[in-house]
Structure 1
């Protein structure tokens, strides 16, 4: 079965299903990018400035899974993920971890050769002249089921039932487990990313249209699944097993520690690779990974931003 470009801007238990399937069925989704088609491979800053924010982060669905009841778990096996041949990354004023330090808009368009298929098998150039390339690791940033609460819920934040979890490890070969709160679960998906670092710190990844195939299965007797759980694919992430450079932030406020770690990486990339602050911030978002290194020695937390050295192909 397949479902194509069915869009909505809110999670809502009252939204009628666009498809009914049996537990264990496979469904293919044809998803637009996070701009809902407002940005194209030829877009410029004027197009970014004209974005209708009410149309961002649309999702495809909802899909009703027969037999799913509150208290069950929906198992989502991610079978295949295929990104388009282009994507975009942007700094959107007012959005992102360091939004107060980057007030100006910026837009980067990507060519994504060989982006379809398995994670980590292809690369896209971030800056070919400087020899900086990013491994493609395609996944859907939005996967979730409807919450039980009445009312409309934006698709921008994540919820305990999933939604915009932006977790790059839930790619082809991964399995996501979602707590069911309503009859039929009402599963939705969208927000294709060709690559993203853990944290998506500038607010966008490599945003791209995407085709995703999943198997939806109702599972019972898993009361411990109260929030999204997942298993990762057998293959590790692009940075696993390789050398990284890490900057840290130390602060009693965990968010400020995180901001300091990202600032440190931006400064490092500028000093060692000649990147502008804007480009360095974008690179942190699509290739850098945030890590929580220390949380018990109060009053301070230690947060790290790790950048894989393998993305730099020139000394």
Structure 2
């Protein structure tokens, strides 16, 4: 199977279906991406708080690509199997003026840099206090081009993906995105070494990453209207989840859409009636706030453990 490469120079700052692809691949082939951090290299391991004042926001959240996938047509689903994510040996987190869920309460700009122990799989938040963060690297930006013409910011998430900032899409996970343009035009970036659901201050442990994905066109998932994903075992019990999402400027409507999309998945994939599916969501599903800071849209997930289907 061919392995293709997208380099750091192959980046863009908007979702725009007029951007020509940097490579063309066949469905089922593998692509490796070499991505700078979300600051586009403006913050380094040696930076201090002054770097935040000098940030050029127009350069933030670049994505690498796009990749044209032969056979992908509007109405299809692009399956992205996350094969590996490798971080740098450093990262950063910051409170940035005007950014984040509580930006009005944390107006002072503060930068924290991290040393990432990739072999041990953790980073010290405060070694003296014994506060250690496990590393679960992923790409915050994973998306395909929108059908609408024009340039769309990489800051918010969309129905086609984008800045979904969903910490569960780690190595071993599979992401499903609705295709709106011929070739799909997949791009990714915004490497994170670790993040909590919601990314409430607006940054995770931001880091450059090298990521490898397998991109496959699916013709049999017409219900994929927003990002869906399947996780590897993520709990002590070895649980596996399937997740649907809802996306809307109104958080209630985003939540309703996440549940509605799970009902549709269960109806079509698991042969449940919609009433049965609704009840199953109520007793076994978990709602998660995956993305709550990149306005105007909220991304809410409905996660269902796959063990409920084990015979």
Same fold (TM over 0.5): yes
Structure 1 residues 237 and 19: CA distance shift in structure 2, 3 A = farther
- 1:123 deviation in Å? 1.1
Unaligned runs of 5+ in 1: 116-120, 241-252, 256-289, 293-315
CA distance in 2, matches of 1:7, 1:178: 20
> How far apart are 1:291 and its partner, in Å?
5.1
C-alpha contact 1:73 1:222 (8 A) present in aligned 2: yes
Q: How does 1:15-164 map to 2 (within 5 A)?
A: 15-114=19-118, 122-164=121-163
**Alignment correspondent of 1:3:** 6
Residue pair 1:74, 1:216 contacting (<8 A) in 2 also: yes
User: How many Å separate the matches in 2 of 1:114 and 1:202?
Assistant: 24
Give how far 1:254 is off: 6.6
Q: Does 1:210 align with 2:209?
A: yes
> How do residues 242-281 of structure 1 correspond to structure 2 at under 5 angstroms?
none
Q: Hey, what's the Cα distance between the residues in 1 that align with 2:63 and 2:36? A: 8
Match status 1:167 vs 2:170 = no
8 A contact 1:91–1:104 mirrored in 2: yes
Residue 237 of structure 1 deviates from its aligned partner by 8.2
TM superposition score normalised by structure 2: 0.75
Cα deviation for residue 38 of structure 1 reads 0.5
| Whole-angstrom distance in 1 between the partners of 2:207 and 2:66 | 21
Cα distance in structure 1, aligned partners of 2:205 and 2:5: 24
CA RMSD of aligned residues (A): 2.0
2:12 alignment partner, SS class: coil
Query: C-alpha displacement at 1:235, in angstroms?
Result: 3.4
Q: How big is the shift at 1:174?
A: 0.1
Q: Against the structure 1 CA distance between its residues 28 and 50, is the aligned structure 2 distance closer, same or farther, given a 3 Å change threshold?
A: same
1:176 aligns with 2:175: yes
Q: Secondary structure at the match of 1:173?
A: coil
Describe the superposition over 1:97-148 as per-residue Cα deviations: whole angstroms up to 9, x where unpaired.
0001111100000000116xxxxx6111001111101110100000000010
Alpha-carbon deviation of 1:221? 2.4
Equivalent-residue separation in structure 2 for 1:89 and 1:237 (angstroms): 28
- Correspondent of 2:16 among 12, 17, 28: 12
- Confirm whether residue 223 of structure 1 aligns to residue 227 of structure 2: no
Tell me the number of residue pairs that the alignment of Structure 1 and Structure 2 aligns.
Answer: 241
Secondary structure in structure 1 of the residue aligned to 2:104: helix
- Structure 2 CA distance for aligned equivalents of residues 51 and 44 of structure 1: 12
CA deviation profile, 1:175-232 (whole Å, cap 9, x unmatched): 0000000000000000000000001000000000000000000000211100000001
SS at match of 1:100: coil
Gaps of 5+ in 2: 240-249, 253-286, 290-311
Separation in 2, partners of 1:81, 1:100: 34
CA contact (8 A) 1:74 1:179 kept: yes
